Amino acid sequence: MLRPGQTSDLIEDLRKEKGRILLRQHFALCLKVFLAGFVLAVLSAIPVVYAAFRAEIRVLQDQITNANERRSKWEEETKRQTQVAEHYRDRFLTITKTNGNLSGFSHEDLQEYALRMVKALRTPIREHETAISKLDADVTTAMLAKPNADDLKKILEERATLEWEAGQRCMAVYNIRLKADVLALRREILSRIPVGNDIDRNGLPTDYWYDSPWNFYGFKRMVADLDRITKELPASNAIVKKRVN
């Protein structure tokens, strides 16, 4: 039989045990609520993350598509330019075998003709630079509107594509209309001026500038070189004309 003191201690122990049990139950309930909330938050975030991920994939796919399209255009244009270059090389070789009619020009007449050719070549250059200036103005106007990063990237990509296309049109004018005459003209000029004028400042031949300008800026360099060697022509009575074997 329990004494009164022992009964009080037993009741107190039971009360404490009950408190511990209730505390554990309360903690377990809070943990379940927390886990349930965490799971719900994760589940609700998944669609958002997935949508953002898909949007990023679409942007990357668009960039890859645009890059592939530009590469395909470049490859097609390179192939076409190569075919045109080969065609005009054949024409050039045919013309230079007979030396054309340029051999009968005096130095002054040849220089006048060459300067007219330089002027003709600079016409598509001016047209190209005008087109580029307009593109730059359009880009500046678009940027003042503070577009987002994606719109800005698209604007810059379109500007690069249009610049490339404008350069190709400029090159087409040279390859289709003027190249054979320029090659024959250069050969005739070089036959009349001191040896070494067909070498650049690095000691490399400048033939490829005329035969296959690598882009619009190479084309401008070729025109500048033609202007330079044209102005090297002497007066008719200054030297005896040298012929190239």
The model's pLDDT over 211-226, given as tens digits with 9 standing for 90+, comes to 888 788 888 899 999 9
Q: Which residue shows structure tokens 């600079």?
A: 122
* 167-188 burial code (b ≥16 CB/10 A, e <16): bbebbebbbeebbbbbbbbbbb
Q: What is the dihedral of CA 77, 78, 83, 89, to 10 degrees?
A: 120
Per the DSSP assignment, residues forming a β-bridge with 205 are 199
In this prediction, residue 152 has a pLDDT band, given cuts at 50, 70 and 90, of: confident
Q: What is the dihedral of CA 148, 153, 156, 158, to 10 degrees?
A: -110
Query: Whole-prediction pTM value?
Result: 0.55
In this prediction, residue 245 has a pLDDT band, given cuts at 50, 70 and 90, of: very low
226 vs 118: CA distance, rounded Å: 7
